Amino acid sequence: MLEFIKQPWHWSIAGVIIGLFVPTLLILGNKAFGISSSMRHICAAILPAKISYFKYDWKKESWNLVFVAGVIIGGWIAAHLLTNPEPVKIADNTKTYLQSIGIQEYGALVPTDLFNWDNLFTLRGFIFIVVGGFLVGFGTRYAGGCTSGHSIMGLSNLQLPSLIATICFMLGGFIVTWLVIPYL
């Protein structure tokens, strides 16, 4: 059974499973799927309630913290116990393009030329890791949710702000992929 779980699965299986979360959460408790709100719940639980943004009953949303803990534990289990020793399969066209812009080495999931501790202390690494992380966090807060919240939950509920946010997420990804990464 473990070997069956370890093998590469088609992407659509994860899509169907994630897609089933939306109606399940809505039916079982009128809950919305998303990860970024959990940071607010953690801060509201830990920080004194003197900041108005954190003055709410975070305990009503504690299910979200359990969900995030499950994501972290599941990620650890997958990385340490279910890791497939085969390298990640990357399309030849993608490899050729990445090599043309100076990315030669690939780790388990990300290009190690970009994402490693030594690279963090270079200008290129700082831009990718620190500035990129800040922009993702800022965009998530500015959009009122993350990609999973808007693109999965919001679109399934036909929310116009989620459509706008998803389009902006995609445009940002395209712009960075084609206009920023090649020049860094």
Q: How many Cα atoms occupy the beta-carbon half-sphere of 43 within 13 Å?
A: 11
CB neighbour list of residue 40: distance below 8 Å, 6 or more residues apart? 53, 54, 58
Mean pLDDT within 36-56: 81
The pair of structure tokens assigned to 35 is: 């990860």
The sign of the torsion formed by the CA atoms of 132, 19, 76, 81 equals: negative
CB neighbour list of residue 124: distance below 8 Å, 6 or more residues apart? 114, 184
Examine the pLDDT at 163 and tell me if it is beyond 90. Answer: yes
pTM of the model: 0.69
- Identify the band that residue 108 occupies on the pLDDT scale cut at 50, 70 and 90: low
Q: Give the orientation angle of helix 160-175 with respect to helix 132-143, to 10 degrees.
A: 160
